[in-house]
Homo-oligomer: A and B are copies of this chain.
Amino acid sequence: MSTTPAFRRLPRAVRERQMLDAAVRVFSRRGFHAASMDEIADEAGISKPMVYAYLGSKEELFTACLHREGTRLLEAIVGAVVPDLPFEERLWRGLRAFFRFVGAHRDGWAVLYRQGRGERPFAGELAAMRHRIIEVVAGMLDRGLAADGREVRPAELEIMAYALVGASESVADWLADHPDADPDVLAGRMMDFAWTGAGNLLAGRRWSPPPAPTD
């Protein structure tokens, strides 16, 4: 019989990609600690020393996953949010890109959102990344207001941005567990919430506590 080796020898770049894909899958279902390098190697169809040779230690591997998925997510969003469009349009495009990404990269999303947040060495960096996104959203809100001649204290803007991002994450997480849902529809639902809500809110309508006994 001719040369049909069970396992072809592949160039490094291809293997690295396969390993990262496998690592994201395994990390997404096990978490950082519970995932073993053996299982990742197995999932990638390769042996453990190869993973160490190419991607380094377990922490470095997880960092690489976080970095790749985080970059992809960020690029998907900033690529969709064209700068000179009006606020509403940018928000809509950003949300749609976000939900589309989560729908298409559920594993990556799970690693970023469910697994990365608790693990000690990575939580900080991840929180910083999230905070950067929130600042961007807050900036969008601020510019949306400035264009309207209004003004809101930065602290309140930040809280609002936290609420908006948190709401989106929560709905995205729902999407990750409902493969049949349409990301664009969800983005529309979020606009229902964020735009109608934030829009009216920023237009000056503030909620005030009822006069009833406050304790």
Residue A38 at the chain B interface, CB threshold 8 Å: no
- A174–B195 CB distance below 8 A: no
Q: For residue A17, give the distance in angstroms from its CB to the closest CB of chain B.
A: 25
Q: Which of A47-55, A67-75, A143-151, A197-205 contacts B (4 or more CB under 8 A)?
A: A197-205
Q: For residue A168, give the distance in angstroms from its CB to the closest CB of chain B.
A: 7
Residue A206 at the chain B interface, CB threshold 8 Å: yes
**Assembly CA distance A167 to B206 (angstroms):** 18
Closest to A197 in B: B197
Residue A136 at the chain B interface, CB threshold 8 Å: no
Closest to A116 in B: B118
Residue A46 at the chain B interface, CB threshold 8 Å: no
Closest to A212 in B: B89
Q: Which of A1-9, A26-34, A101-109 contacts B (4 or more CB under 8 A)?
A: A26-34
Contact with B along A13-40 (1 / 0, CB 8 A): 0000000000000000111111000000
Q: For residue A2, give the distance in angstroms from its CB to the closest CB of chain B.
A: 44
Q: For residue A159, give the distance in angstroms from its CB to the closest CB of chain B.
A: 5
Q: For residue A83, give the distance in angstroms from its CB to the closest CB of chain B.
A: 15
Given A114-B118, A212-B89, CB of A193 within 8 Å of CB of B189: no
- A189–B33 CB distance below 8 A: no
Q: For residue A142, give the distance in angstroms from its CB to the closest CB of chain B.
A: 16
- Residues of A at under 8 Å CB distance from B? 29-34, 88-89, 92, 114-115, 117-120, 123, 156, 159-160, 162-171, 173-174, 186, 188-198, 200-201, 205-207, 209-210, 212
List 9 A–B pairs whose Cβ atoms lie within 8 Å, in order of A's numbering: A32-B33, A88-B210, A159-B174, A163-B167, A163-B193, A166-B168, A193-B201, A196-B205, A200-B205
